[in-house]
Amino acid sequence: MHELLQRDLLDLPALLAAARATALTSLTGLDERPAAVRPQAPEAALLRSAEPGAAAALRLFEQRWLPRLAGSAGPRYLGFVTGGATPASLVGDWLTAALDQNPTAGWDSEAPELERQTVRELAGWFGLGAAHQGAFVSGATMSNFVGLALAREWLGEQRGVRVSEVGVSALGPVTVLSGAAHSSIHKALSMLGLGRQALQPVATLAGRDAVDPRALELALQAQQGRPVIVVANAGTVNSGDFDELRAIAALRERYPFWLHVDAAFGAFAALDARVADRVAGLDAADSVCVDCHKWLNVPYDSALQFTRHRALQLRVFQNAAAYLGEPDEKAGGADFVHLTPENSRRWRALPAWFAVQAYGRAGHAEIVARNIDGARRLGELIAQQPGLELLAPVRLNIVCFALRGCTDAASVQARLERLRDSGEAFLTPTLFQGRWAVRAAFSNWRTRMDDVTRIFEALKGIS
């Protein structure tokens, strides 16, 4: 063994104690840390410590990199739909790294069974029945990719070809219909060889991000019976809007289509009785995307993909290697190596398992409700502020608003950089209904109402 590795192995208790102290210092001051920082000019080469070994690397990290990181796990970072890491999920994540399990197959441990149990528990939270089975993936982008990969295989089945065997060229032209698809849908279509141009935007309801059900039906009629893919949204990125899932699912009585629902954060509406009806009908989907490092508040990277078509999933992602075993097509029996794009994979289920065990549905429902209350309050304050204009009702956890006098991307960006540099809050720009705007996304477990007041005061300062 290399002498440095040997030394660090012997010093491991002290190294872990030092890392613990660094983490605690950072987390203890998180509420008052700048929400984001201005990136500095990049250096020409990797800065190296004068000394070798893990302890010196930790000191260099504390000096050079830690002060330049965003407080993205904190309560005033609203730039993306970004959760933090609850205490339980952080414990689970540390143990994930320490135990270093590869839950790809069930030959060597029961790590995959913990994942199956956690997936089943969370499916129940979102109102998904026993027909839906799932797995952990790296994020919403990969979850959407998996769902659309299954949709692609289903389309091939309707046309008498196995895309997973003969390739996408045998499929012919593909149509994907959606009202306000997330950018990750475009990326997934590109990666799957279907092409971004396969996506045909469908008109949304006036002033909203939700698809117009009548316009969707007309688009389906225009296909003249050809099977297509429909991507529905449960929580749009700009305004937190929802498609009417039950109405969309009912259209399958007359038109053939695969229904994929992007519910990356919107699925968690099921935990708040005030808004739970917005995800009614989610169980009717053929595939569903849910992101855990958003509202479940587990560390990056973690998401769920669900489908009621496990046989198609095995067909697409089965791995042909004797040492990995054959896929078992019995429900629930397949190893994860045959279910997702990855072979080796991080034990992402463990932080989620800790979160579920520690706080349960009720504890996470409180986070969801508190975030919704915070978003509503910020919306009320913005609506009363002369320099700000609320552009959409606060339907869930997203506040979409304009800065008066800022009519282009550059002017909005400049104001938001001032906000960032103040350290008080971090928000990101967007384009909503043809107007450059700002969105504030509430999903962090730490955010309280006094943070909302503080964020609003900072917004007043740049309006």
User: For residue range 383-427, what is the model confidence (pLDDT) as tens digits?
Assistant: 999 999 999 999 999 999 999 999 999 999 999 999 999 999 999
- Does 341 have pLDDT greater than 50? yes
CA 133 remoteness from chain centre: 18
* pLDDT for residue 334: 85
60 in any annotated domain: no
- Does 7 have pLDDT greater than 90? yes
Contact yes or no for 135/304 (Cβ under 8 A) = yes
210 in any annotated domain: yes
Distance between CA atoms of 226 and 339, rounded to whole angstroms? 28
* pLDDT for residue 44: 78
Categorize the per-residue pLDDT at 332 as very low, low, confident or very high, splitting at 50, 70 and 90.
very low
Q: Select from 254, 259, 255, 253 the least CA-distant residue to 211.
A: 259
Categorize the per-residue pLDDT at 325 as very low, low, confident or very high, splitting at 50, 70 and 90.
confident
Read off φ and ψ for residue 278, nearest 5 degrees.
-70, -20
446 in any annotated domain: no
Stretch 258-262: mean pLDDT? 98
pLDDT tens by residue, 48-97: 878 899 999 999 999 999 999 999 999 999 998 999 999 999 999 999 99
38 in any annotated domain: no
412 in any annotated domain: no
* pLDDT for residue 43: 80
Residue with tokens 């955010």: 447
CATH number for the domain harbouring residue 279: 3.40.640.10
* pLDDT for residue 329: 56
454 in any annotated domain: no
User: Exposed, middle or buried, 3 (CB in 10 Å: 0-12/13-18/19+)?
Assistant: exposed
DSSP string, 29-95: TGGGS-S--PPPPPPSS----SS-SHHHHHHHIIIIIGGGS--TTSTTB-SSS-----HHHHHHHHH
Distance between CA atoms of 445 and 447, rounded to whole angstroms? 6
pTM of the model: 0.96
> Which residue range is the domain that position 160 belongs to?
92-354
Stretch 207-214: mean pLDDT? 96
**DSSP three-state, residue 440:** strand
373 in any annotated domain: no
- Does 236 have pLDDT greater than 70? yes
36 in any annotated domain: no
Stretch 114-123: mean pLDDT? 97
Domains in the chain: how many in total?
Answer: 1
Bridge-based pairing of strands 257-262 and 199-201 is: unpaired
pLDDT tens by residue, 430-461: 999 999 999 999 999 999 999 999 999 999 99
Average pLDDT, the chain: 95
- Does 37 have pLDDT greater than 70? yes
Categorize the per-residue pLDDT at 331 as very low, low, confident or very high, splitting at 50, 70 and 90.
very low
- Does 143 have pLDDT greater than 60? yes
Tokens of 435: 């107007």
* pLDDT for residue 330: 55
Residues 6+ apart with CB under 8 A from 89: 296, 297, 298, 299, 351, 352, 354, 355
Give the gyration radius of the chain's Cα atoms.
Answer: 23
* pLDDT for residue 41: 82
Return the higher-pLDDT residue of 47 and 287.
Answer: 287
* pLDDT for residue 49: 79
Read off φ and ψ for residue 447, nearest 5 degrees.
-65, 125
Categorize the per-residue pLDDT at 45 as very low, low, confident or very high, splitting at 50, 70 and 90.
confident
pLDDT tens by residue, 158-209: 999 999 999 999 999 999 999 999 999 999 999 999 999 999 999 999 999 9
* pLDDT for residue 105: 86
* pLDDT for residue 333: 62
How would you list the strands of the sheet with 199-201, edge to edge? 133-137, 303-307, 287-291, 257-262, 228-233, 176-178, 199-201
Tell me what percent of the residues of the chain surpass a pLDDT of 70. Answer: 99
